[in-house]
Amino acid sequence: MGMTASDEAPRPVPPRLHIRPRRGWINDPNAVVRWNGRWHVFFQHNPYAAVHDRIHWGHVSSEDLVTWHEHPVAFGPEPGGPDRYGCWTGVFVTGLDRPAVAYSGVIDASGESTICLRYGSEDLETWDSPIIVGTTPHDAGVTVMRDPFVFSWRGRRWGILGARLGADLPAVLLYSCDDIENWEFVDVWMTGDGPLWSSEDSDMWECPQVVWVDEEPVVIISLQLEGLPGAVLAVEGSVTEEDGAPRFTPASVDRLDGRLWFYAPQAVQDQRTPLMFGWILQDNVPGDGDQVAGCLTFPRRLGRRADGTLVTRLDPAVDRLRTGPPTRVPAGSGRPLPAAAVVDVVSVATDMAGDIVLHGGGSTIVVPPVAGTTAWTDGEVVEVFPGDGGLPSAIRGIGAWPWMLEVPEGAEVTVTVLGLPSAAR
């Protein structure tokens, strides 16, 4: 029996304001850096098709964090090179006399990787061939290693990588990399063993990073289980010195996002409030043609509430996407939203009759009933930031557009159309 139009799977409705390439696949953000007055974001990218294969590094830049210019593909697998099966996640290395990135080079489907380094041109568009600067420490029981991140501590340069020990123990590895072309394995820095991790099932940690929020260390890790992405955690604790090296002691674990569409973020130290982008997964796109699969989140900032607990907020620059005055939606009514819009919760009565809800393509999103909450829609992508500083959520509603907003009695809600700033149109 043939498929009718009504039986077809909903087509993806692409976002227009989030970072995404013109064509192909996008996943992990890489090498986020402010360079010569512009923000640069690289990302995992297949420029040939909207499928996770033949991974290159894509590249965009912006002066204002909302208007993005897509550059040519930065680099891709080098035939016969240490990254011939893919150029995987990595980081920009600061403090050198020329631009450089460190990343995982993979040689075949086994996933065996090395730490690769490429030097770049001043405009970050041309990159040298990769050189191997570090290898997997199999003697320490490491079976998988990837995703280098570089940070400074007490005047020295250090690297951490996600790993698996044995068959199923997730870990973070520590390397010394004062000599950026010679990474020396120091020790296993952290493992997923013990009661702190009992509620977070994982057999591999990916994309580890350490940033400082109000001078306190926060380690970010992305959980993987049997090859599938899971939650993203912020691990707080303390860093002490042991035999001249930093030793991290975890004390608490919290999630960075309330949904599982958000994965593999990269944070970069930007004064006292680290800047962070995450990947919003998408796997419902036909691989052929000029399709695009996935996007990155709007920029977020890590900070602290008045009580000292960690909070993730939307970067204020995103407000520049508001193109006009807000329109009040009458309580007890519903209306379809424009292609891109922000829903602002102005006030909520204690006896509100129901929930503030977004419906679209079979997806339902309950908007937190807290004054100051914002829900940013862009095609089928929604990012929700609770007004009380609660956990944000990045959501992809399959085929969801137009979103239908329902406002119950007792709620005051406004909608503002989103678009690029006038100078960028």
Alpha-helical runs (H) found in 269-387: none
Domains 18-317 and 322-424 share a fold: no
Residue showing tokens 């005055």: 325
Beta bridge pairs of residue 236: 218, 252
Q: What would the mean pLDDT of 69-86 be, rounded to a whole number?
A: 97
Q: What would the mean pLDDT of 57-84 be, rounded to a whole number?
A: 97
CATH pick for 18-317 out of 3.40.50.300, 2.115.10.20, 3.30.1490.190, 2.40.50.140: 2.115.10.20
Fold that domain 322-424 belongs to in CATH: Jelly Rolls (2.60.120)
pLDDT tens sequence across 104-122: 999 998 888 999 999 999 9
Percentage with pLDDT > 70 across the chain: 95
CA distance 116 to 161: 13
Query: What does the pLDDT read at residue 1?
Result: 33
Residue showing tokens 């035999």: 243
CA distance 45 to 86: 10
Query: What does the pLDDT read at residue 111?
Result: 85
User: Are 174 and 189 spatial neighbours (Cβ–Cβ below 8 Å)?
Assistant: yes
Q: Which pLDDT band holds residue 423 (cuts at 50, 70, 90)?
A: low
CA distance 172 to 184: 15
Q: Taking 90 as the threshold, does the pLDDT of residue 236 lie above it?
A: yes
Q: Which pLDDT band holds residue 266 (cuts at 50, 70, 90)?
A: very high
Q: Taking 50 as the threshold, does the pLDDT of residue 145 lie above it?
A: yes
Q: What would the mean pLDDT of 213-224 be, rounded to a whole number?
A: 96
Which has more pLDDT, 170 or 271? Answer: 170
Which has more pLDDT, 316 or 290? Answer: 316
Which residue type occupies 420? L
Q: What's the mean per-residue pLDDT of the chain?
A: 93
Instruction: Map 148-203 to HEC letters.
Output: EEEEEECCEEEEEEEEEECCCEEEEEEEECCCCCCCEEEEEEEECCCHHHCCCCCC
Other beta carbons within 10 angstroms of residue 78's beta carbon come to 15
β-strand pairing of 24-35 with 292-293: parallel
Peptide bond before 402: cis, by omega within 30 degrees of 0? yes
pLDDT tens sequence across 164-179: 999 999 999 999 999 9
CA distance 377 to 15: 8
**What are phi and psi for residue 335, nearest 5 degrees?**
-160, 150
Q: Taking the domains of the chain in order of start, what are their residue ranges?
A: 18-317, 322-424
CA distances to 347, 384, 415 from 325, in Å: 18, 20, 9
Contacts for 83-88: CB closer than 8 Å, 24+ residues apart: 83/107, 83/116, 83/130, 84/108, 85/109, 86/54, 86/55, 87/55, 87/56, 87/57, 87/116, 87/130, 88/28, 88/44, 88/55, 88/113, 88/146, 88/147
Q: What would the mean pLDDT of 260-264 be, rounded to a whole number?
A: 94
User: Are 165 and 141 spatial neighbours (Cβ–Cβ below 8 Å)?
Assistant: yes
Q: Which pLDDT band holds residue 4 (cuts at 50, 70, 90)?
A: very low
Query: What does the pLDDT read at residue 7?
Result: 47
Which residue type occupies 170? P
Other beta carbons within 10 angstroms of residue 230's beta carbon come to 17
Q: What would the mean pLDDT of 134-153 be, rounded to a whole number?
A: 97
How many residues appear in the chain? 425
